[in-house]
Amino acid sequence: MLNLALKKWRAKESSLGVWSNLPDIHMAEMLSRIDVDWICFDLQHGLMDYSDLTRLLPAITGVPTTPLVRVAANQPDQIGKALDAGAQGVIVPMVNTAEDAERAVAACRYPPMGSRSCGPMRDAMLEGPGYLATANEQVACLVMIETEEGLRNLDAIAAVEGVDGLFVGPMDLCYGLGLAPGDFANPAFAEAIGNILKACETHGLASGIFGYNAEMAADSMQKGFTFASIGTDISFIRAGALQALNTASGGDASDAPKARGGY
């Protein structure tokens, strides 16, 4: 099992991916074939659960796109089941201390490097026992920094052996800093991002961010992030539908129809 996205991150190469919130195997199949490096299935805020994951991950088998899963919580059972279902990495939310990071790493690694229980159901079916020989090296453990506590413990978190990267959820980071949601231009937000990037550089980690759209992803990469999402399946559908409606109605960009609700 070669984790191609992780290989890029370790080589300090830029990497773009997409975010999946919808439990639709056809959508997942299509998005994994547009030459992105990774696709993240969201079990924290997406409209999917574990049973959906057992169908979504097989739908993208056979393509070089790396499957990631954002788990709902930093719990060994949730991390282990996502990996056993075929994820090549996890994004773990609400990591606020070095101890939190150590728990996430332990759940991702087999002994003696961690405490992951052995039962790699789908990977064992596809790869056989050889999976166990490479899993500790090829599974990506990405931890989220999204609170003031996490920022205070940033250096200690980044120093935890086995953490492959830090990941930013911009909206939750705003909330964590006491800012208005989406106040990404605030100096406090910019300072936090700078500190996260510095910690990643110091400790040789990948730096990732949830990009709400292509423009935000491009800006984030220019600021120094290693990887970013270019949008979500929901946002792609909404943007395409609005563009089609605008074109059909004869409007221009300044009077394009606006979505009714959503984000």
Strands 227-232 and 206-209: parallel
Tally of domains in the chain = 1
DSSP per position, 149-198: HHHHTHHHHHTSTT--EEEE-HHHHHHHTTPPTT-TTSHHHHHHHHHHHH
DSSP per position, 112-152: TT----S--HHHHHHHTTHHHHHHHHH-EEEEEE-SHHHHH
Task: Return the percentage of the chain with pLDDT > 90, whole number.
Answer: 87
45 is an active site residue: yes
Check whether 258 has a pLDDT greater than 70.
Answer: no
Question: Active site residue: 12, 33, 45, 152, which one?
Answer: 45
Residue range(s) defining the domain that contains residue 83 = 4-233
**Domain harbouring 146, CATH code:** 3.20.20.60
Residue in 80, 132, 137, 69 with CA at minimum distance from that of residue 103: 80
Q: Specify the pLDDT at position 260.
A: 45
**Residue 115 counted as domain residue:** yes
**Residue 163 counted as domain residue:** yes
**Residue 245 counted as domain residue:** no
- Chain-centroid distance, C-alpha 194: 19
**Residue 211 counted as domain residue:** yes
**Residue 249 counted as domain residue:** no
pLDDT, greater one: 6 or 131 = 6
How many Å apart are CA 193 and CA 215, to the nearest integer? Answer: 17
Q: Give the mean pLDDT of the chain.
A: 93
- Contact 196/173 with Cβ under 8 angstroms? no
**Residue 165 counted as domain residue:** yes
**Residue 261 counted as domain residue:** no
The amino acid occupying position 159 is: A
70-115 residue pLDDT tens: 999 999 999 999 999 999 999 999 999 999 999 999 999 999 999 9
**Residue 107 counted as domain residue:** yes
